[in-house]
Amino acid sequence: MAETNTGGVPIELRKVTKRFAGSDEPAVQELDLNIPAGEIVVLLGPSGCGKTTTMRMINRLDEPTSGDILIGGRSSRDIDPDRLRRHIGYVIQQAGLFPHLTVAANIAQVPKMLGWERDRIAERVDELLTLVGLEPETYRETYPRRLSGGQQQRVGVARALAADPPVLLMDEPFGALDPITRERLQDELLRLQDDLAKTIVFVTHDVDEALKIGDHIAIMQRPGHIVQYARPAEILTNPASEYVEQFLGGGSSMRLLRLTKVGDIELDQAPYASEDTDAQELLTRLEPDEHGYAVITDGMRRPLRWITPAALEELRGPIGTTGEPITGSIGHRMTLQDALETLLNADTDYLPVIGRRQAYVGALSLSTVQNAIQAIKSRERERRLRRGESP
């Protein structure tokens, strides 16, 4: 897998303008954009705002009318276009696979152009098929028409990654897929990116896709310029203009539930203690706290049991194995939405939240989530008030 571990390079667009012959307004106008190495940057905006043109200028499928594009610090004008495209993977809607070539031959295109040995290519094809979740034995010799849309898209991603390019351009890659396949491929792209750390420019006009996939999002407006460039949470809580707000549409609170990680909200700090803690000592910590329970943990602070004040009152000496076993937990990286779902299906009204190495970091109940939602809403209200709009 050594070859799939090359990280990305930064891309910088400096006052890039593109005018197509015969059009009055430019497709892209004096666009500045810094794309950090190893990040996914999403270009988001309505049809015709210049997303695709911006992307096509990065690999020189379109040439800028003016301005400069630096890739890894080098002006793209100084790089031969063919060479440039071999170092930039490109994934488009409906994959764009060659129908008369097998899956393996489709993936092998760039390595072949680079003159790789047959064995090396074959090995790479199998490695990539596995990477994108397709069994090489089954799919290697298949033709694209026999694959589902999702499978074709996976092959498209494998093909783009073939020569391990530092940059991937993805133009609405999941646009033609059904919602379930689309979500699955988004998840897999994020999982892949955890290992590969490519610089990815991703075009979409789907707000939810952008919020989920992007490390940063550039919201574009016609004619071809950026109105806000920020992290997803910042865009939701602090849209730069009414245009951005309208483009995002309603439901920002629900979106924040999907975006916010459990570890980022204020958790219920129920006290915890190990089994050898004196029961009466733990009781003194519990009462003034107004918490109805404490968490008993092992030596690594992993949660074992719940214990109530009533149970502690009966006890003298160490707590030992008293208490009710904890049957579930919530990971600190879970989204609030998933945590809510887990809570609603749990046997208890609260669940421990575990952080690194499964250590207890706090507890979550419906009211903790409700408080977090309220905090999000009041931030939104404040923002509207500041702008002089009615709350």
Ligand X SMILES: Nc1ncnc2c1ncn2[C@@H]1O[C@H](COP(=O)(O)OP(=O)(O)OP(=O)(O)O)[C@@H](O)[C@H]1O
Question: To the nearest whole angstrom, how small is the minimum distance from the Cβ of residue 61 to ligand X?
Answer: 10
Residues 6+ apart with CB under 8 A from 84: 59, 60, 71, 76
Q: Does 44 bind ligand X (CB under 6 A)?
A: no
Binding mask 204-223 for ligand X (x = CB under 6 A): -x------------------
Q: Does 47 bind ligand X (CB under 6 A)?
A: yes
Q: How far apart are CA 354 and CA 274, in angstroms?
A: 16
Q: Does 98 bind ligand X (CB under 6 A)?
A: no
Between 28 and 339, whose beta carbon lies closer to ligand X? 28
Question: To the nearest whole angstrom, how small is the minimum distance from the Cβ of residue 256 to ligand X?
Answer: 26
Question: What burial letters (b/e) apply to 188-202, b meaning 16+ CB within 10 Å?
Answer: bbeebbeebbbbbbb
Residues 6+ apart with CB under 8 A from 353: 262, 263, 267, 329, 330, 331, 332, 360, 361, 362, 363, 364
Q: Segment contacting ligand X (CB under 6 A): 45-53, 142-150, 329-337, 349-357?
A: 45-53
Binding mask 148-187 for ligand X (x = CB under 6 A): ----------------------------------------
* Residues in a beta bridge with 17: 66
Question: To the nearest whole angstrom, how small is the minimum distance from the Cβ of residue 36 to ligand X?
Answer: 22
Residues 6+ apart with CB under 8 A from 386: none
Among 49, 125, 267, 295, binds ligand X (CB under 6 A): 49
The residue type found at 257 is L
Which of these, 173, 176, 145, 148, lies nearest to 159 by C-alpha position? Answer: 173
Collapsed DSSP state (helix, strand, coil) of residue 332: coil
Binding mask 6-25 for ligand X (x = CB under 6 A): --------------x--x--
Q: How far apart are CA 386 and CA 383, in angstroms?
A: 5
Between 51 and 60, whose beta carbon lies closer to ligand X? 51
Question: To the nearest whole angstrom, how small is the minimum distance from the Cβ of residue 89 to ligand X?
Answer: 19
Return residues touching ligand X (CB under 6 A).
20, 23, 27, 45, 47-53, 205
